[in-house]
């Protein structure tokens, strides 16, 4: 079973599973497809993180995020309060996604007996890029909203504004340069993105656009196999990615909620939302103080990330939560435009993956020869030289991205995740708790009304955002406890695109996709 926020990506995964492919092969096919069919959300010019569970070898992580260019400098932004979100001065980090696909393909072969070639796994994506896709309402809306700030960015109009306008919903959208790029990578290997003819073309076009990312930066990059963070939950073991992601934060929230016994609450009650929000505030304090490139954390004497998941630390945080009153809240870390997808195969192998170009269409810089839209992840760096996440050459920025996985004591395997800046760990807490602790099936757990404290993609306010389907009594009680509540429409895309797949010990599957997205669950 597979789930993705675009139905064509789910179908690509399903086709691979039907051919005998494993969960990782299915997700490689899905990530390639969604990079083409949801171009405003992600692409091969961005970053990705993977959690892979091999029934034989256990859980591993793949860190496929790029570092700042060697020539990137805070001095380049003299007089500015922050790094711009658009244009070449935002395109300052290496795109790591291709190294993630490459590492995942090797992992599939080495640990999951994978046999499908790259040519098969990228087949659907190449077809959709060359033959075209039907523009979704999401693509049309986001292109329209960001038209003024993107239309004049290097290469953007030629790639994403046919006839100078946002493509209409349902119109056919083709990406011939992307089709050629993917075909080239199939022939030369994914490593060509970093050290071959394609790398030279990418570096040349980045230089022409005005980005500091060089061929040497590309050649230096590699995807990394990482040990995931682990949380001992009352129901089993939970996994997420270590820094520079906020995977720690997602696990901290769930660890606190587990200790608070939230399973006893109604999933639409003020008690449940309040407990989750207050646990989030405690976790965000850790995030904003410590999380960045692991090397920089070590240099600055930050505690080991895993230590925050110790029982003593989690208990100490829970002790500071007042169930009757909202704690003060500062500012969020900002928006992110991302996709999460997951799959589990018949053998119990599982894959949870998140792929992003950061904001809608990333930096907006589109490279002439390859048609690659480059991310603006570097905009998440601070320009304060004293901040732990300050911009430095060769440093990885803080990432909101974090894929999640759970292995339950009763034999269930669960992959779940969400897109959306500050909302990612919060929606993970909602989906996991509702499905694992409150008895909701995955579809109801994903579709149920959600909350979001802080910022997500397309938003700048730091309020507690609630979907309109929460009971009026819940809304009023949260206000009474001191929350600055802002109401949002039912199934609003602002609350992110979540998903969940569960494989039970008897081999049965359950899944849920987000009606806020254009996605679907596909099973065989």
In a 13 Å sphere around the CA of 135, the CA atoms on its Cβ side amount to: 21
Closest CA to 354 of 372, 336, 335: 336
| Length, in residues, of the chain | 524
Contact between 35 and 42 under an 8 Å Cβ cutoff? The reply is yes
Alpha-carbon torsion (6, 8, 11, 15), positive or negative? negative
Max alpha carbon distance in the chain (Å)? 61
- Report the DSSP pairing between strands 2-4 and 337-344: antiparallel
To the query of whether residue 338 is one of the catalytic residues in this protein, the response is: yes
252 phi/psi in degrees, rounded to 5 = -60, -45
Contact between 417 and 425 under an 8 Å Cβ cutoff? The reply is no
Kindly state the DSSP code that residue 68 receives in the 8-state scheme.
B
Q: CB burial class (10 A; 0-12, 13-18, 19+) of residue 413?
A: buried
Residue 363, token pair as written in the block: 């930096």
Give 429's contacts (C-beta < 8 A, 6+ positions apart).
250, 253, 254, 257, 276, 279, 280
Per annotation, catalytic residue among 89, 97, 107, 338: 338
List, by residue number, the catalytic residues: 338
């Amino acid at each position: 079973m597979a789930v993705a926020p675009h139905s064509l990506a789910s179908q690509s995964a399903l086709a691979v599973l039907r051919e005998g492919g494993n969960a990782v092969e299915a997700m490689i096919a899905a990530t390639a497809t969604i990079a083409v069919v949801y171009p405003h959300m992600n692409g091969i010019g961005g970053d990705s993180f993977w959690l892979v569970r091999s029934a034989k070898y256990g859980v591993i992580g793949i860190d496929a995020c790029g570092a700042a260019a060697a020539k990137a400098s805070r001095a380049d932004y003299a007089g500015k309060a922050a790094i711009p979100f658009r244009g070449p001065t935002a395109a300052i980090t290496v795109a790591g996604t291709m190294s993630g696909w490459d590492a995942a393909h090797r992992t599939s072969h080495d640990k999951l007996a994978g046999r499908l070639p790259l040519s098969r796994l990228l087949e659907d994506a190449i077809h959709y890029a060359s033959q075209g896709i039907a523009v979704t309402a999401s693509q049309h809306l986001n292109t329209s909203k960001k038209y003024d700030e993107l239309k004049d960015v290097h290469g953007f109009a030629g790639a994403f504004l046919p006839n100078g306008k946002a493509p209409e919903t349902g119109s056919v959208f083709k990406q011939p340069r992307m089709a050629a790029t993917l075909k080239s990578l199939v022939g030369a290997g994914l490593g060509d993105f970093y050290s071959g003819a394609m790398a030279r073309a990418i570096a040349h076009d980045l230089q022409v656009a005005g980005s500091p990312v060089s061929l040497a930066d590309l050649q230096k990059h590699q995807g990394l196999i990482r040990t995931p963070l682990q949380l001992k939950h009352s129901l089993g073991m939970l996994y997420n990615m270590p820094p520079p992601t906020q995977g720690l934060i997602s696990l901290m929230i769930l660890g606190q909620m587990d200790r608070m016994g939230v399973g006893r609450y109604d999933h639409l009650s003020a008690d449940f939302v309040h407990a989750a929000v207050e646990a989030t505030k405690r976790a965000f304090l850790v995030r904003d103080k410590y999380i960045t490139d692991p090397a920089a954390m070590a240099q600055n004497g930050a505690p080991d990330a895993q230590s925050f998941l110790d029982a003593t630390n989690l208990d100490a945080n829970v002790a500071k939560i007042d169930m009757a009153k909202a704690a003060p809240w500062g500012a969020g870390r900002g928006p992110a435009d991302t996709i999460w997808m997951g799959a589990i195969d018949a053998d119990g192998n599982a894959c949870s993956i998140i792929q992003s170009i950061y904001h809608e269409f990333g930096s907006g810089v589109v490279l002439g020869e390859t048609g690659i839209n480059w991310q603006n992840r570097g905009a998440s760096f601070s320009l304060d030289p004293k901040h732990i996440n300050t911009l430095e050459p060769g440093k990885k920025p803080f990432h909101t991205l974090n894929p999640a996985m759970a292995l339950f004591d009763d034999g269930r395997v669960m992959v779940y995740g969400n897109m959306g800046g500050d909302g990612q760990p919060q929606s993970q807490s909602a989906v996991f708790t509702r499905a694992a602790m409150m008895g909701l099936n995955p579809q109801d757990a994903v579709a149920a009304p959600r909350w979001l404290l802080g910022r997500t993609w397309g938003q700048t306010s730091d309020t507690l955002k609630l979907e309109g389907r929460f009971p009026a009594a819940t809304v009023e009680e949260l206000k009474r406890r001191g929350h600055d509540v802002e109401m949002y429409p039912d199934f609003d895309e602002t609350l992110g695109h979540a998903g969940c797949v569960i494989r039970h010990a008897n081999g049965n599957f359950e899944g849920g996709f987000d009606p806020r997205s254009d996605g679907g669950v596909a099973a065989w």
